[in-house]
Amino acid sequence: MPTPRTRALAILSALAVLLGACDGGSADPPDRPRNGGRTRTPQVVGSVRPPPAIAPGPMLLASSFERPICGRYQHPGPGCEFGYEGADLETGAFECRTGPRCLRIGRQSHSHMGVIREVPLPGGHAFVSVAHRVPEIPDGAIPSDPGYLELLQLSPTDGAFDRPGYPVEVRLYPDRRLGLALYREKDEGITRDPIPVDEWFTTIVELTNGSPATQRMWLFDGQDRLVDYVEIELRTAQPWPHDDRTAQKVGGATSTLVPMDTFEDDWYIAETFMGPLHLGPAGAPSPDPG
């Protein structure tokens, strides 16, 4: 006949098995709050999902930032490729990924910094590709609220009032991981590994208007090899104060607390997936990445 001690051990053993079954046997630690203490909806990043096959299609925007930036973004001056937001940005020879010039964005600004083009997305869907280089992030540079910097802010709209669109942003966190989320919202998909220090990498975002709709981001290294992938369901078809705005932005609306630069090159928006392109001065794909 079992003793009281034997019965107690049996009960504890059964509880352990039951708890293991409830949590799937995972030994992962609980998700930690970020963004100034606000909890986030965790997004599971599994194996790296291959992107769609490369397919030809119309370019809605293509630039390697070889031409000047001058004037406000709504009205760039003569000979200017882009207008600007914020005073501390320029094109120049910054160890660029393609060609002799690329874009430097000074991140310690007021509330907005970067370059914008008004680009309507047919059907509210497009692929947005940009190459980035992020030097070491100084301690305390990224404020605790919101807890990240914006690398991109993208509008999933075609310019019509009957298709509202809430912006999607690509985020950079202090631990150098990247996130994909609605502008200033807490639900986010986050990459598994940090981006390299001061080396070029490329993000390609598949932006889709819907309630909800799947947003995807593929991450490529400096040799254009696929290294990470994120997807998340987001309600991009919802009203916000600029329902018909088609502003596509490299940069963001989050400032650092100390001086810090990021560098950008090879920006395109297309209706089809074209991979991490190297672009010539006229915006056409370049066979020479240097």
For the segment 186-195, the average pLDDT, to the nearest whole number, is: 93
For the segment 201-211, the average pLDDT, to the nearest whole number, is: 97
In contact, 248 and 154? CB cutoff 8 Å: yes
Candidate ranges 23-32, 36-45, 87-96; pick with highest mean pLDDT = 87-96
In contact, 227 and 220? CB cutoff 8 Å: yes
Asked if residue 37 has pLDDT above 80, the reply is no
- The CATH number linked to 172 is 2.60.120.200
Query: Could you tell me if residue 113 is inside a domain?
Result: yes
Which tens digit of pLDDT belongs to each residue from 219-228? 999 999 999 9
Query: Could you tell me if residue 252 is inside a domain?
Result: yes
| Number of domains making up the chain | 1
Query: Could you tell me if residue 251 is inside a domain?
Result: yes
- What percent of the chain has pLDDT above 70? 81
Provide the pLDDT for residue 112: 85
Query: Could you tell me if residue 38 is inside a domain?
Result: no
**Sheet with strand 168-172: strands edge to edge:** 113-118, 247-252, 149-154, 168-172, 178-182, 188-190
What residues have CB less than 8 Å from 169, skipping those under 6 apart?
Answer: 150, 151, 152, 153, 154, 180, 181, 182, 183, 184, 252
Provide the pLDDT for residue 288: 61
Lowest mean pLDDT among 3-12, 141-150, 197-206: 3-12
Mean of per-residue pLDDT scores for the chain: 82
For the segment 60-66, the average pLDDT, to the nearest whole number, is: 94
Asked if residue 30 has pLDDT above 60, the reply is no
Write out the residue range of the structural domain in which residue 203 sits: 54-138+146-270
Q: Identify which has the larger pLDDT, 111 or 151.
A: 151
Query: Could you tell me if residue 290 is inside a domain?
Result: no
Provide the pLDDT for residue 39: 33
Query: Could you tell me if residue 161 is inside a domain?
Result: yes
Which tens digit of pLDDT belongs to each residue from 161-174? 777 899 999 999 99
For the segment 89-100, the average pLDDT, to the nearest whole number, is: 94
Provide the pLDDT for residue 8: 41
Query: Could you tell me if residue 128 is inside a domain?
Result: yes
For the segment 9-31, the average pLDDT, to the nearest whole number, is: 35
For the segment 189-210, the average pLDDT, to the nearest whole number, is: 97
Asked if residue 1 has pLDDT above 50, the reply is no
Query: Could you tell me if residue 21 is inside a domain?
Result: no
Q: Identify which has the larger pLDDT, 56 or 216.
A: 216
Q: Identify which has the larger pLDDT, 222 or 24.
A: 222
Rg (CA), the chain: 22
